[in-house]
Amino acid sequence: MNKNLVTADYIVFAVYFILVASYGYWIYQRKKKAVTDTKDFFLAEGSLTWWAIGASLIASNISAEQFIGMSGEGFFAGIAVAAYEWIAAIALIIIAVWFIPVYLKNKIYTMPQFLKTRYNGTVALIMAIFWLLLYVFVNLTSILYLGAVAINGLIGGDNLHIIMIGLAIFALLITLGGMKVIGFTDVIQVGVLIIGGLATSYLALTVVAEKFGLGSSALAGFQALMKDAPEHFHMIFHRPTAASSQLEVDKYLVLPGITMYFAGQWIVNLNYWGCNQYITQRALGANLQTARTGILFAGFLKLMMPVIVMLPGIAAFVLYKNGHLQLEDGRKDYAYSAILGFLPAGLKGLSIAALTAAIVSSLAGKVNSISTIFTLDVYKKYFNKEADEQKMVWTGRLAVVFSMFVAIIFTWKDILGIGGKGGFTFIQQYTGFISPGVFAMFILGMFWKRTTGAAAIAGLITGFVLSVFFNEYAPQIMGHENFLYTAYPSQAIVNGVTTTVWQIPFLICMGLAFLFTMIVMVGISLGGPKINPKAFDLDKEMFRVKPSTLVLIIITLVILMAIYAKFW
């Protein structure tokens, strides 16, 4: 580390590292059953409390793509990007009330297991492979790359690869102890994440106030942001017209106004939070009330996340626009690390700890999910059906190490071009290729008893093909505007030459792919029996909530309505 950091920074980070490592080791020693018990190693069955589940959900979700990617989108587009966080709070309510009861009643431990139980083994195997590829080549790589970029930007020098390896090793140490270690250390991680993140946002606002001659008041800094960049404080972008600037068009392509609330925004969130091994795994080992409370607690915490991960980006934009901040090539993904450069001694160490906590917890959760799917849904079913508990745990650990190694190789020179697209957009767009088909399979599989296995396979293929078609080819084949969509011009570099390409906002593409996928699945299923023999048995009692749960739901919704009323 270079001269930007002083002794106090090293001490703060060292305390964080020792605290997490010691607590994780203590948890591991308390229950060495995790060495040989697969359900405990992969799911921490029955041992995570509601607050540990909620904290682990947030710690796993908030990572480099939020700190760096969403802060970058805040720099570029403003508060509108917070829709991903605030709509997630509603999505978590839906998951807690309607999805989790279905999983728990049917003893679902992995998402491929859900597909095999509800449909057939072919669907489960196809999706297991899809998820493994997605988690390794999109999620792990982006978390590693963006995390290393952020920390390297803060400490200076050329330490990107060293930081990348350090983050991977730290995550491996936690992951190899199993889900219980991950879940309980995430309580510390999310505490560090929130404290460090709020401290960074607070100081960013005070810097803005000072640069504008308003003293050292964070409130004055926030008011200065709203006055100097009012366009960054609107949740809904207007549809571009012929008179719109290219910047306005580019913003709309990422966040297509009110339309995205009727299309991809719901698919993104419900698929991510409800049909994603990486997330649902935290709740699948608990009882219904514990799982519900933990998920709703996570939803409540999501309300404050934009303050931590998006607001510093807007502060960076205002400082950059007024010449108070140097930003390499004006690139949005450097906005967060540039803001961290203003922090005083000691607080830089806290911010590095907060970033590390977010990155490491997400890496640990992701590789644990990779390990779980590979071991339970691929290795056990297709390679070694007689494998005992200890053999599967060690297979899981080898999968953890191997997947991290592969991610490092593909991240080493940014082979996938994560830096060029912008981290947050990279993840959302490529995840969106399979989200429509996956979500259609899950939602129909849960709640429509007629859905067939043939329809599921057709839906998966249709969703993927249509996602690629609408994102890459539709404007050239079907024209720039029709009753389904409007495509907009954007600048792209093709063979070293800047050219104009026409694009449909990817959230709209996702919505269109989902719509036609549902039509295909319903049409195929209507040719089958009225009740599929593998349909889940549902009853109204599964979906009843306790008064305390209802109160938490109402509080979350009221806060959200107030936010949208203020910033519409």
Q: What is the pLDDT of residues 421-443, one digit of tens each?
A: 555 566 666 677 888 999 999 99
- How many Å is the maximal CA-CA distance in the chain? 72
What's the whole-number mean pLDDT along residues 204-214?
90
Q: Which of 108, 7, 113 is nearest to 375 (CA)?
A: 113
Q: What is the mean pLDDT of the chain?
A: 84
For the chain, what's the residue count?
Answer: 568
Question: Per the domain annotation, does 77 fall within a domain?
Answer: yes
Question: Per the domain annotation, does 348 fall within a domain?
Answer: yes
Q: What is the pLDDT of residues 321-351, one digit of tens each?
A: 888 887 766 677 778 878 877 878 777 787 7
Question: Per the domain annotation, does 330 fall within a domain?
Answer: yes
pTM confidence score: 0.85
Q: Which of 265, 276, 266 is nearest to 60 (CA)?
A: 276
135: pLDDT strictly greater than 90:
no
316: pLDDT strictly greater than 70:
yes
Domain tally, the chain: 1
User: Residue 255 and residue 248: Cα distance in Å, rounded?
Assistant: 10
pLDDT of residue 39: 59
Q: What is the pLDDT of residues 220-262, one digit of tens each?
A: 999 999 999 999 999 999 898 888 888 888 889 888 989 888 8
Q: What is the pLDDT of residues 470-480, one digit of tens each?
A: 988 999 999 99
Question: Per the domain annotation, does 469 fall within a domain?
Answer: no
Q: Which two tokens stand for residue 30?
A: 């308390």
Range of the domain at 97: 7-212+277-419
| DSSP code for 451 | -
CATH number at residue 186: 1.20.1730.10
Question: Per the domain annotation, does 403 fall within a domain?
Answer: yes
DSSP string, 284-331: TTS-HHHHHHHHHHHHHHHTTHHHHHTHHHHHHHHHHHTTS---GGG-
Greater confidence, 41 or 512?
512
User: Residue 478 and residue 470: Cα distance in Å, rounded?
Assistant: 10
What's the whole-number mean pLDDT along residues 474-493?
87
315: pLDDT strictly greater than 80:
yes
496: pLDDT strictly greater than 70:
no
Greater confidence, 285 or 490?
490
C-beta of residue 313 within 8 angstroms of C-beta of residue 332: yes
Q: Which two tokens stand for residue 4?
A: 């930007």
11: pLDDT strictly greater than 70:
yes
Question: Per the domain annotation, does 260 fall within a domain?
Answer: no
Question: Per the domain annotation, does 141 fall within a domain?
Answer: yes
Question: Per the domain annotation, does 429 fall within a domain?
Answer: no
pLDDT of residue 102: 92
Give the CB-side neighbour count of residue 259, counting CA atoms within 13 A.
22
